[in-house]
Amino acid sequence: MSDSGIRVELSVDAPGACPVASVSDEAGAAVTDIARSSPDENGQVIEEFTATSTGEATIEAREDMEKVFAAGDGARYQFTRSRTDCVCETVETFDCPVAEMRAENGQLCMTFHAPDVDRVRAIVTRLKELYDGVSLRSMRRNGDVDPVDSILVDRSQLTDRQQEVLETAVEMGYFEYPKGANAGDVASELDISVSTFAEHLAAAQTKLLDSIIAE
């Protein structure tokens, strides 16, 4: 893959990793149009988002959320948080501003641009150290008009169990947005614990990621 700029989309399937992901999980509402202020002198950030009306009662019951605008199919909310309490800030410590964010059912999806594959690898590695459920959803090279990047991957590097876990997650819609199944659903289907599922999935993704973004 050419080191001429890469558009990356990844997801974090861990509501506790991000306040807006937590809101989407609790309220069962889609969260979009996420915006943040610059941190103040105390490192506090004001964040806003739009949520569908289905979660209005749950969101407004939270003391940390304030409605700032109402519309027919949803509303705009605002809250204050610490600068360090978010996935997006972790990505941006690698000098890669987050271009787009959205959340639904506890899954946070974000898009950012990286200068090279080494930066992508470093970001994904760091996120996996901090959060569960980190998945690289797509990468597009600079200048590509087709979002499908054809890369041959040797699946023999996966153990039988890792391949089974990965295939089951795909079949059940774990990587879809909005997701068709959560970690507990897939783990139950495989008759394993959620922690075991996460362990096998992380190992499989690491092996495939190394193949996909290898120079």
What residues make up the domain containing 178?
A: 155-212
- Final residue of a structural domain among 88, 112, 141: 141
For residue 112, being part of any structural domain is answered with: yes
d(CA 35, CA 50): 9
45/49 Cα distance (integer angstroms): 13
Q: How far apart are CA 92 and CA 59, in angstroms?
A: 27
Q: Is residue 196 part of a domain?
A: yes
Do 115 and 183 fall into the same domain?
no
Residues 120 and 17 in one domain: yes
The string of pLDDT tens digits covering residues 48-86 is 999 987 888 888 888 889 999 987 788 999 999 887 768
Q: Which amino acid is at 6?
A: I
Question: In the chain, how many domains are there?
Answer: 2
User: Same structural domain for residues 196 and 117?
Assistant: no
Q: Looking at the structure, do residues 124 and 180 belong to the same domain, yes or no?
A: no
* Residue 94 pLDDT greater than 90, yes or no: yes
